[in-house]
Amino acid sequence: MYVIGTAGHVDHGKSTLVEKLTGIDPDRLREEKERGMTIDLGFAWLPLPDGNEVSIVDVPGHERFVNNMLAGVGGIDMALLVVAADESVMPQTREHLAILDLLQVKRGLVAVTKRDLVEDDWLDLVSVEIEDLLEGTTLEGTPVMPVSGTTGEGLPELIAAIQQRLDEGEPRKDLGRPRLPIDRALASAKARSSIYPSPASRSATDAGSTIGPSQPRS
């Protein structure tokens, strides 16, 4: 299964877009709901037109939580860079793009959210600013697509573009050895065990299957 990671400045509409696309609210923590802001990674999945599903990792945009953003985009196949049409490029737009560039993420889409809040002329200016920003990065030439997480405008086109972008690349090899990177643990005082939320990779696994530690190689 492919994994898409969101990226972009706080309040630019990443989580709203993920929820509108998938029906899943990626802000699962109580504190996130109370503050109306993503703090930790959120997870959702999107059925694609071809019948496959794609996982979505929603990242926090606030500069204080950039460490969580970094943990989320480590294993992604494609970036969904979100820029709000009313605010355009902001500091964490640049910072997240720099991270994606460093990680050599070459496949992406830019969603210009809050399309419902701006006039066409302004939208054109914002699109040019984004294209300029992408120049010289791994995401140069990435399609820039206006959408609204509120009205749903542009979402069918965005889903079609996601499918197309994923089809363009080499599918990941199924090595028959599922891997769950333990790069971070969510341990809580109440929990009796830790949760390792990174997406499993390298192999398809069925819901409910038990994954154990791999045997040391002899």
Q: Nearest-CA neighbor of 80 among 94, 100, 66? A: 100
Angle at 111 between CA 78 and CA 199, to 5 degrees: 30
Q: How far is the CB of 47 from ligand GDP (least distance, A)?
A: 21
- Taking the C-alpha atoms of residue 7 and residue 200, their distance in angstroms, rounded to an integer, is 20
From the CB of 79, what's the least distance to Mg ion, in Å? 15
Of the pair 59, 78, the CB lying nearest ligand GDP is at 59
Residue 125 CA to residue 15 CA, distance in Å, equals 24
Residue 96 found at the interface with ligand GDP (CB under 6 A): no
| CB atoms closer than 10 angstroms to residue 146 | 22
- Cα 11 to Cα 4: distance, rounded to the nearest angstrom: 19
Site map (CB under 5 A) of Mg ion, residues 11-40, x = contact: ---xx----------------------x--
* Residue 35 structure tokens: 């503050």
Site for ligand GDP in 102-161 (CB under 6 A): 113-114, 116-117, 148-150
Residue 68: name the closest of 110, 108, 13, 27 by CA.
27
Binding test (CB under 6 A) with ligand GDP, winner from 61, 72, 146, 199: 61
Q: Which residue is nearest to ligand GDP (CB)?
A: 13
Q: Name the minimum Å distance from CB 199 to ligand GDP.
A: 19
Question: Of residues 7, 21, 22, 38, which one binds ligand GDP by CB under 6 A?
Answer: 38
203 is a site residue for ligand GDP (CB under 6 A): no
92 binds Mg ion (CB under 5 A): no
Helix runs in the chain, H state only: 14-22, 30-35, 66-73, 91-102, 120-134, 155-168
Which residues of this protein are in contact with Mg ion, per CB under 5 A?
14-15, 38
Which residues of this protein are in contact with ligand GDP, per CB under 6 A?
10-16, 37-38, 61, 82, 113-114, 116-117, 148-150
